[in-house]
């Protein structure tokens, strides 16, 4: 008798595609309107916000209008109920853009959402829709579906000139990345320091929907991620003829960040004088603190972890692995990518681990199931020292069994309160060292 395929997973490290509601709420002035069953978005809130650094949510992120589709809508269709919800949302909610997201049930029964929102669009309301049923993908897939829907239905066509120093930044999914707010702040600061203008599109540094209207005006798109954002950049290339620069590894530390700046400047073809002055200033400050850390590290290194494993999304996984391997000299025993990276990207992502530092190679695997992840971690050989695991709250039990230090660097993170912290760039690398070695000395 044939063995039944494995169809469920334990302790997932991502959310359902309807979690893309938080992509919308991360755009200042945008309001998500949810067309799906009761409880769906509530679960995404706990996965992506509350139990992921207690990020909180305000405005439309905390009070999302929705249909709560039930048996009646499944049998007779939910178009009428959705129309009523949209009408109420437009009347009550203050927003510059409304995005209707359809989940599993309306997709299964065939609700024609485009027809429902058409009269509102014809009246001039800024409203778009995206179909993000959970059976098609996770929140990362849903994130790009929403981004492309907003570009096509709201940003629209553009035939004007581009601004040579303006960049559209695509790096990770809001809320899913526990540190997305601080990461955005740091990368924007770095790019502006190098002489660019930046459309960050999400969070505190975004101008809101007006910034989305400026997307076609950018000289190019910067995809700062192993794979997420590539579909968006290729869509923009086809739609507006915009080129894109793909840098797959997030910069952490002076060497990586300086190389990142120079790569972007070279691609843009702008004068590098401002960038080099910025690099000099940042590097001087970075090494002031790094040298003081080195003094501490040299004194106590014998009691610290020398080998580590990491569990997390592809972006943070490779970035942290390269920094700790190449700059701190730790030995990577295993890297588990848990974000369900699309199969077509996996070979390229795995190739990033080929040589992390001179003579140091990765041991990367793609696993979604929390049970299998814990099993794999328990099989790694960390030597005789204290193991270091960078992961999520799901790995706490196996960390305790191994006597390991656990540092939470991704979804889910229930032992961290995260406001504007970052582990990227010049400043973030120092914060990462503080976090790891505070845990090490604290036990």
| Among 155, 184, 205, residue at a domain's last position | 155
Same domain, 45 and 137: yes
Same domain, 29 and 109: yes
Q: Examine residue 323 and state whether it is found in any structural domain, yes or no.
A: yes
Q: How confident is the model at residue 108 (pLDDT cuts 50, 70, 90)?
A: low
Q: Examine residue 417 and state whether it is found in any structural domain, yes or no.
A: no
Same domain, 135 and 183: no
Angle, helices 180-193 vs 273-300, to 10°: value is: 130
pLDDT at 125 over 60: yes
What CATH number is associated with residue 114? 3.40.50.1980
Q: Examine residue 278 and state whether it is found in any structural domain, yes or no.
A: no
Same domain, 269 and 327: no
Same domain, 186 and 143: no
Same domain, 186 and 256: yes
- What is the rounded average pLDDT of the residues 119-138? 91
> Which residues constitute the domain of residue 71?
17-155
Same domain, 95 and 197: no
Q: How confident is the model at residue 40 (pLDDT cuts 50, 70, 90)?
A: confident
Highest mean pLDDT among 74-78, 282-286, 301-305: 282-286
Same domain, 145 and 33: yes
| Among 137, 155, 173, residue at a domain's last position | 155
pLDDT value for 65: 82
Q: Examine residue 2 and state whether it is found in any structural domain, yes or no.
A: no
- DSSP letters along 137-204, please? -BHHHHHHHHHHHHIIIII----SPPEEEEEEEE-S-TTTSTTHHHHHHHHHHHHHHTT-EEE--SST
pLDDT value for 74: 59
In the chain, % of residues over pLDDT 70? 94
Q: Examine residue 281 and state whether it is found in any structural domain, yes or no.
A: no
Token pair of 100 as six digits = 């209707």
- What is the rounded average pLDDT of the residues 34-54? 83
Residue-wise over 376-406: b if at least 16 C-beta within 10 A, else e? bbeebebeeebbbbbbbbbbbebbeebebbb
Q: How many domains does the chain have?
A: 3
| Among 135, 155, 175, residue at a domain's last position | 155
Q: Examine residue 438 and state whether it is found in any structural domain, yes or no.
A: no
Same domain, 133 and 170: no
Same domain, 141 and 170: no
64-73, 262-271, 343-352: segment of lowest average pLDDT: 64-73
Q: What is the pLDDT of residues 379-391, one digit of tens each?
A: 999 988 899 999 9
Same domain, 21 and 140: yes
Same domain, 107 and 200: no
Q: What is the pLDDT of residues 238-280, one digit of tens each?
A: 999 999 999 999 999 999 999 999 999 999 999 999 999 999 9
Q: Examine residue 191 and state whether it is found in any structural domain, yes or no.
A: yes
Q: How confident is the model at residue 232 (pLDDT cuts 50, 70, 90)?
A: very high
Residue with the larger pLDDT of the pair 235 and 69: 235
pLDDT value for 309: 97
pLDDT value for 75: 44
Dist CA 159 CA 379 (whole Å): 57
- What is the rounded average pLDDT of the residues 222-249? 97
Q: Examine residue 182 and state whether it is found in any structural domain, yes or no.
A: yes
pLDDT value for 372: 94
């Amino acid at each position: 008798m044939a063995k039944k395929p494995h169809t469920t997973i334990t302790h997932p490290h991502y959310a359902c595609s309807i979690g893309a509601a938080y992509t919308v709420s991360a755009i200042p002035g945008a309001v998500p309107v949810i067309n799906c069953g009761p409880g769906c978005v509530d679960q995404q809130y706990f996965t992506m916000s509350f139990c992921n650094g207690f990020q909180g949510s305000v405005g439309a992120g905390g009070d999302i209008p929705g249909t709560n589709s039930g048996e009646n809508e499944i049998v007779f269709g939910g178009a009428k109920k959705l129309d009523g919800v949209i009408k109420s949302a437009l009347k009550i909610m203050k927003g510059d853009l409304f995005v209707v997201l359809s989940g599993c049930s309306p997709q299964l029964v065939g609700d024609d959402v485009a027809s429902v929102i058409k009269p509102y669009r014809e009246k001039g309301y800024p409203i778009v829709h995206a179909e993000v049923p959970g059976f098609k993908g996770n929140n990362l897939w849903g994130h790009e579906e929403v981004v492309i829907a907003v570009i096509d239905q709201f940003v629209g066509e553009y035939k004007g000139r581009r601004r040579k120093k303006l960049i559209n930044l695509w790096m990770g999914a809001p809320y899913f990345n526990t540190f997305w707010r601080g990461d955005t702040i740091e990368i924007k600061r770095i790019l502006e320091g190098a002489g660019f203008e930046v459309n960050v599109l999400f969070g505190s540094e975004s101008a809101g929907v007006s910034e989305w209207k400026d997307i076609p005006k950018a000289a190019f798109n910067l995809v700062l991620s192993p794979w997420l954002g590539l579909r968006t950049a290729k869509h923009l290339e086809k739609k507006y003829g915009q080129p894109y620069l793909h840098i797959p590894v997030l910069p952490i530390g002076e060497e990586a960040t300086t190389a990142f700046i120079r790569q972007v400047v070279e691609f843009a073809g702008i004068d590098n004088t401002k960038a080099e002055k910025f690099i000099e200033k940042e590097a001087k400050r970075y090494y002031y603190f790094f040298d003081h850390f080195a003094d501490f590290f040299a004194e106590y290194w014998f009691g610290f972890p020398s080998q580590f494993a990491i569990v997390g999304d592809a972006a943070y996984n490779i970035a942290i692995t390269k920094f700790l391997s190449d700059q701190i000299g730790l030995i990577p025993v295993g890297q588990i990518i848990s974000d369900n990276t699309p199969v077509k990207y996996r070979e390229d992502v795995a190739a990033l681990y080929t040589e992390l530092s001179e003579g140091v190679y990765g041991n990367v695997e793609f696993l979604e199931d929390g049970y299998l992840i814990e099993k794999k971690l328990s099989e790694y050989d960390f030597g005789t020292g204290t193991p270091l695991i960078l992961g999520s709250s799901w790995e706490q039990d196996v960390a305790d069994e191994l006597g390991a230090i656990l540092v939470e660097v991704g979804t889910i993170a229930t032992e961290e309160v995260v406001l504007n912290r970052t582990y990227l760039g010049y400043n973030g690398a120092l914060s990462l060292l503080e976090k790891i070695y505070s845990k090490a000395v604290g036990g």
